[in-house]
Structure 1
């Protein structure tokens, strides 16, 4: 087994649905080893992947869903973030169905630069059908990395093809079923729902209506859970079928390997997130922690899970990545204050985030700022 990693070292989480998707991900992790976390029944694989900083690799945790589908994906992300609270970005890797009219063929790679569309979350009225709400945008940092890969591709540099060739040599399951074709990268929106689709007419209708180029069954759950946990997300897929009657499993292995290869290249173009070590003594300067917590819980904005996630998003990355998620508002607020208190700049970071969320001139911010300053000394 490889060297042990503490949860605080890890900033990237990778989620896969199937064993054939999980296998190549484990293969590209350096020093990969299994890890159990106390209070969590999932088995995780921990390792590292090169980053855009040569001497600082990404520390990564990967896991496989118990079952495919959006619900299990959401539950898995929440559990992963609870066990590894320093994870900042959740990545999805695996297979998808492609839209032929968008130019996608078997084995092609899809980078979800335009996000994820939950095409089953609908409002149906006499005037027609429309999506109920967006899932949130993809990680800006990973999107920047994808832009760099796209620019490099123009000059003929495709590092994912080298990784894919290595995976194909490592296991016959990852090899391309038929030779001669080239692997093309497509960028756009991916549709996600709990629907295993084998209907070309329905497929093309969804593609036209929602401007999606591929279909899968987990990303909308990952996106929802990532938003609720105050984390970022990104999705990479590769095409294993075309969502028609010809759908079979022959391309699963190669598509899973192609997706992993491109995700590996994305991380290689992404700067690592460096967390500042938590100061020893934790919240020793928060003399009135209970009073601060009660004041924050008195704010409707902080009690609401959605806006509380926005508050966390406004914190500096090195702080927000360490805030454990809880569905219980009181526990979550305690975690926010306790995590902020571990940093010399934590009090001001929390005040700045509340100022942006509530408005500098709002009476609510003024009252909360007074309680925080009165009960939390700087030194």
Structure 2
């Protein structure tokens, strides 16, 4: 019988903010482990497991936001002292712009990567308010080099593969189970993008029910990919802030200012003191027409990508980090 993993055997933290994201994450585990004791000061609830030989700690947030994310990370790293890095995995709001891999659409993935003057993530609402302007201050840490290399290797190998590993990973989620039905692909016919100035007519009601004008939708050009289930991955800068962005004009202004590809609400909190890569499945366009229809599939796509990254990380390097950490904690012999 194999040895039961101890606290020090876990090297990767996987952080989700929503229930729909946590379920998708659990479906990606190769093995699930029993829970371990934790100090009374740690209020997190952990799910433990392994993927491709890496032991993983999955933690959720009691509510979205940078502050809850920072608290979860602090407590997680205390209980699991050998966590080397983290993954922030879940949904985000996309900027409908063109990247090297085509137009950003619902169901695509955006992954943080240093670009231009940014480290891969930017806290757009942190800074100084001056007369007539807002001066952004501070910088967030870039993703760990080992994860940047893994993401690049994944892109290279995926481009050369006849079978798409991300699609295979998504199929791990059995949508015939009642509780997992929301992870089905909604269909390309439900991928609507409206003009930035056109406001949703009735909050809380779908576009079809409230009569949003179909003529205000922006025709989307057909990219090279002819399979609507093919997940396109875009890598670049992700914007993090405390606001849920549901304003297309604000979205476009911030995107132009910071050259960001998507918006989310946890990275700035987690990245303060923990090297992480941010992986977001695009569930909406950050406009007033935002709804939950794509939440399940976008969460599944992000989790599927995160799972695949583990297969491109060198296990020996992670184990070597743990051994060095143990020696440092034990002191000289």
Give the structure-2-normalised TM-score: 0.78
In structure 1, how many angstroms separate the alpha carbons of the residues matched to 2:185 and 2:55?
Answer: 30
The aligned runs of 1:254-293 (5 Å cut-off) are 254-272=297-315, 273-275=317-319
- Higher Cα Rg: structure 1 or 2? 1
In structure 1, how many angstroms separate the alpha carbons of the residues matched to 2:83 and 2:140?
Answer: 20
Q: CA deviation at 1:128?
A: 3.6
Deviations 1:53-83 (A, max 9, x none): xxxx001110111111000000000000000
Aligned residue pairs, count: 277
In structure 1, how many angstroms separate the alpha carbons of the residues matched to 2:251 and 2:32?
Answer: 38
**2:27–2:172 contact (8 Å) kept in structure 1:** no
Unaligned runs of 5+ in 1: 51-56, 227-231, 277-315, 323-338, 345-378
Q: CA deviation at 1:319?
A: 3.3
Q: CA deviation at 1:27?
A: 1.3
Matched, 1:164 2:170: yes
Q: CA deviation at 1:104?
A: 1.0
In structure 2, how many angstroms separate the alpha carbons of the residues matched to 1:274 and 1:33?
Answer: 19
Deviations 1:70-129 (A, max 9, x none): 000000000000000011111110000000024211100111112111001123334743
In structure 1, how many angstroms separate the alpha carbons of the residues matched to 2:245 and 2:318?
Answer: 41
SS of corresponding position for 2:278: strand
Partner of 1:177: 186
Matched, 1:101 2:101: no
SS of corresponding position for 2:70: helix
Which one of the candidate residues 61, 81, 86 is aligned to 2:77? 81
Deviations 1:24-63 (A, max 9, x none): 111111221452413222211110001xxxxxx0011101
The aligned runs of 1:312-323 (5 Å cut-off) are 318-320=323-325
Partner of 1:48: 50
In structure 2, how many angstroms separate the alpha carbons of the residues matched to 1:131 and 1:269?
Answer: 35
**1:75–1:225 contact (8 Å) kept in structure 2:** no
Partner of 2:193: none
Which one of the candidate residues 148, 154, 164 is aligned to 2:153? 148
Partner of 1:17: 17
Matched, 1:197 2:245: yes
In structure 2, how many angstroms separate the alpha carbons of the residues matched to 1:25 and 1:151?
Answer: 24
In structure 2, how many angstroms separate the alpha carbons of the residues matched to 1:249 and 1:192?
Answer: 20
Matched, 1:340 2:313: no
Matched, 1:243 2:243: no
Partner of 2:142: 137
**1:93–1:235 contact (8 Å) kept in structure 2:** yes
**1:34–1:44 contact (8 Å) kept in structure 2:** no
Bigger proportion of residues as helix: 1
Deviations 1:123-171 (A, max 9, x none): 3334743320111111100000011012123324531121012225463
In structure 2, how many angstroms separate the alpha carbons of the residues matched to 1:126 and 1:317?
Answer: 50
In structure 2, how many angstroms separate the alpha carbons of the residues matched to 1:90 and 1:222?
Answer: 9
**RMSD (Å) for aligned C-alpha atoms:** 2.1
Cα 1:176–1:84 change in 2 (3 A) is same
Larger RCO: Structure 1 or Structure 2 (Cα < 8 Å, ≥ 6 residues apart)?
2
Unaligned runs of 5+ in 2: 115-119, 189-226
Cα 1:341–1:73 change in 2 (3 A) is closer
